[in-house]
């Protein structure tokens, strides 16, 4: 017999480690282990979600006639790590071979490569992704600059998605110019998918409450889908109710509306309950059936076959060095406000609050509020990466690291994106209603009442001038800075120093 090892983000029957399984003889092995649950202090909801989805998947496998060996976290014999648990299973079953699908993260894959058991280990590629490591490396080879847009077009062609012969559907590859409306009108946003916790989820929640009491985040209420059936319902609900507005309000932020018109599917796609291609095909079908407009459907599809595959490609191309990139030499410690510490900056307060409650924030909150702050305040990439790994239920290093190190912090010096996504308060004010409930004034540029994003934005450009001035996409901004009066520049520096001092002293900013 063979032992088929399944990780917590490989919960799909089509996974390569199960491709030629003998249901009668082989044993599928899954384990909840302390090392994995604590190498960073994951959000409580994230642990509950993964453990519940794993337990439900194990039950489904059993119901379909497979032999499953499942170690729960609180099993007295649990040896605590993937390796030590597999070692026990290897000794118990004496399998002919151990079959695994490559781990999605470098850390775990390196560990896998070092595994040594009596049985040989067969590590197979993860064909849930649409672009292999080899294909991405080949595409990247010899290019001066890597840009998502060109990669995305290749993926559209390869999978024949939203194509009209060899031309893009509608004549354009990208309809972003029609997207990104500010949330001016009163929006009537449909409710996101919500499951009710069953006995398995309740048991896991009790376990998490008991064993991880100091981890960040709220455990209750818990509404994530934890089975394939529920995840498919969540996908259907998104396609029917929210996809049509996905494009228009993709960048909009509204106080008290954590979900907006986003899909909230990343948790399920990343752990295997949904496959990326089925999500993309469901969206294309909605367009072909005349149920959703092209700008929304193209925008959604680009996130999945474009951005998702592109960041994964960069991750595997650049690891392990990518983990320690710090192009801007940023050193500031992550302030307490990221952990829910009190702050007067309403945008930051809302985004952290929702992150704590839901283990979710939508893309523009992660990028233009939390990420923008981390960038212009010069926060240490290690600390920022750890925070993003901890707090989101969809976080795995292959997707988290490029988004943080590359997209928000520009710590890779421009590998993933061509310029830093820095912005002043005006952007947040345009795309959200946060500023009207803020103690700071978004229109004020200097002094204690001014919006901190306004002076930190310029201070960031001044502090990093030697590294960023040569970036042609920042040319105009640096020319504006050149024209700024000495008095204005001094005020920017002075306000920023005052703000940083308050941060360092753990004062409420
Ligand atoms: P939607 O807005 O509905 O998008 C649809 C899908 O597209 C998502 O489910 C996701 O699979 C994919 N997608 C969209 N943008 C990206 C992107 N930039 N990179 C990769 N996939 C993308 N996504 C994660 O899955 N895990 C992370 O740990 C993660 N960390 C992030 C950290 C930062 C700083 C930023 C700026 C983005 C991060 N993202 C991450 C990307 C993106 O924010 C989330 O995928 C998205 O918010 C998930 O919510 P959704 O399913 O509602 O997405
Ligand atoms: C996120 C996570 C957690 C918290 N715990 C486990 C676990 O105990 N067992 C498991 O198989 N997977 C877990 N996961 C998901 C893994 O982190 C993920 O499968 C790997 O990081 C992939 O590289
Ligand atoms: Fe955020 Fe500035 Fe607006 Fe306050 S005024 S919510 S700090 S952007």
Ligand nearest to the CA of 55: 2
Q: Which of 351, 440, 449, 496 to mutate to test the pocket of ligand 3 (most atoms within 8 A of CB)?
A: 440
Cα(373)–Cα(366) distance, rounded to whole angstroms?
10
- Distance, in Å, from the CA atom of 52 to the CA atom of 29, rounded to the nearest integer, reads 16
Q: Whose CA is nearest to atom 15 of ligand 2?
A: 8
The C-alpha atoms of residue 272 and residue 70 are separated, in whole angstroms, by 18
Distance CA 42, CA 393 (A): 8
pLDDT, tens only, 455-480: 999 999 999 999 999 999 999 999 99
Atom of ligand 2 nearest to the CA of 34: 8
Helix 148-159 with 309-318: angle, nearest 10 deg: 120
CA of 25 to the centre of ligand 1 (A): 39
pLDDT digits (tens, 9 = 90+) for 243-302: 999 999 999 999 999 999 999 999 999 999 999 999 999 999 999 999 999 999 999 999
Q: How far is it, in rounded angstroms, from Cα 464 to Cα 419? A: 13
The first and second tokens of residue 330, run together, are 């940023």
Q: Is the C-alpha dihedral spanning 178, 183, 187, 193 positive or negative? A: positive
Within 6 A (CB) of ligand 1 lie 262-266, 269-270, 300, 303-304, 307-308, 311, 362-363, 366-367, 371, 388, 392, 394-395, 399-400, 403-404, 407-408
What pLDDT, in 10s, does the model give residues 386-439?
999 999 999 999 999 999 999 999 999 999 999 999 999 999 999 999 999 999
Residue 28 belongs to what H/E stretch?
strand 27-31
Choose the residue to mutate in 5, 36, 48 for probing ligand 2, maximizing ligand atoms within 8 Å of C-beta: 36
Q: Is 207 in the pocket of ligand 2 (CB under 6 A)?
A: no
Q: Determine the atom of ligand 3 nearest the C-alpha atom of 345.
A: 7
The rounded distance, in Å, linking the Cα atoms of 136 and 320 is 17
Q: What is the mean pLDDT of the chain?
A: 97
* Ligand 2 nearest-atom number relative to CA 103: 23
Ligand 2 atom having least distance to the Cα of 73:
8
pLDDT in tens, 85-98: 999 999 999 999 99
Which residue owns the Cα nearest ligand 1 atom 13? 303
* Unique residue bearing structure tokens 């392990």: 320
Protein residue with its CA nearest to atom 21 in ligand 2: 105
Q: What are phi and psi of 271, to 5 degrees?
A: -100, 0
Determine the atom of ligand 2 nearest the C-alpha atom of 104.
23
């Amino acid at each position: 017999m063979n032992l088929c090892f399944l990780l917590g983000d490989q919960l799909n029957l089509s996974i390569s480690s199960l491709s030629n399984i003998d249901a009668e003889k082989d044993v599928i092995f899954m384990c909840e282990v302390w090392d994995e649950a604590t190498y960073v202090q994951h959000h409580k909801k994230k642990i509950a979600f993964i453990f519940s989805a794993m337990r439900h998947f194990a039950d489904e496998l059993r119901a379909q006639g497979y032999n499953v060996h499942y170690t729960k976290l609180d099993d007295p014999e649990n040896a605590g790590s993937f390796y030590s648990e597999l070692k026990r299973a290897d000794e118990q079953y004496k399998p002919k071979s151990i079959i695994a699908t490559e781990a999605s993260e470098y850390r775990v894959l390196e560990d896998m490569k070092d595994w040594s058991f009596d049985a040989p280990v067969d590590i197979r590629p993860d064909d849930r992704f649409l672009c292999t490591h080899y294909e991405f490396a080949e595409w990247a080879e010899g290019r001066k600059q890597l840009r998502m847009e060109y990669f995305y077009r290749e993926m559209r062609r390869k999978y024949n998605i939203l194509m009209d012969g060899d031309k893009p559907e509608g004549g354009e590859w990208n309809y972003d110019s029609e997207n990104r409306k500010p949330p001016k009108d009163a929006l009537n946003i449909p409710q996101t998918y919500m499951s009710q916790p069953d006995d398995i989820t309740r048991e896991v929640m009790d376990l998490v409450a008991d064993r991880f009491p100091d981890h960040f985040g709220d455990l209750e209420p818990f509404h994530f889908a934890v089975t394939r059936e529920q995840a498919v319902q969540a996908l259907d609900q998104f396609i029917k109710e929210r996809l049509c507005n996905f494009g228009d309000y993709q960048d909009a932020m509204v106080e008290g509306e954590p979900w907006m018109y986003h899909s909230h599917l990343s948790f399920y796609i990343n752990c295997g309950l949904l496959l990326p291609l089925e999500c993309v095909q469901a969206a294309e079908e909605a367009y072909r059936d005349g149920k959703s407009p092209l700008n929304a459907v193209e925008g959604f599809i680009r996130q999945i076959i474009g951005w998702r595959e592109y960041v994964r490609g960069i991750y595997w191309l650049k690891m392990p060095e990518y983990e320690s990139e710090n192009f801007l030499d940023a050193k500031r410690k992550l302030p307490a406000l990221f952990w829910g510490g009190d702050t007067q900056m309403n945008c930051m307060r809302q985004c952290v609050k929702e992150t704590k409650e839901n283990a979710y924030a939508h893309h523009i909150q992660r990028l233009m509020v939390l990420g923008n702050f981390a960038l212009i305040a010069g926060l240490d990439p290690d600390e920022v990466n750890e925070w993003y790994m901890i707090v989101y239920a969809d976080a795995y290093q292959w997707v988290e690291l490029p988004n943080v190190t590359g997209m928000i912090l520009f710590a890779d010096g421009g590998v993933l994106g061509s310029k830093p996504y820095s912005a002043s308060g005006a952007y947040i004010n345009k795309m959200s209603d946060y500023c009207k409930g803020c103690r700071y004034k978004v229109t004020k540029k200097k002094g204690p009442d001014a919006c901190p994003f306004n002076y930190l934005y310029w201070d960031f450009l001044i502090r990093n001038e030697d590294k960023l001035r040569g970036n042609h996409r920042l040319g105009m901004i640096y020319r504006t800075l050149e024209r700024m009066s000495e008095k204005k520049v001094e005020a920017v520096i002075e306000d920023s120093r005052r703000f940083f001092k308050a941060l360092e002293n753990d004062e409420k900013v």
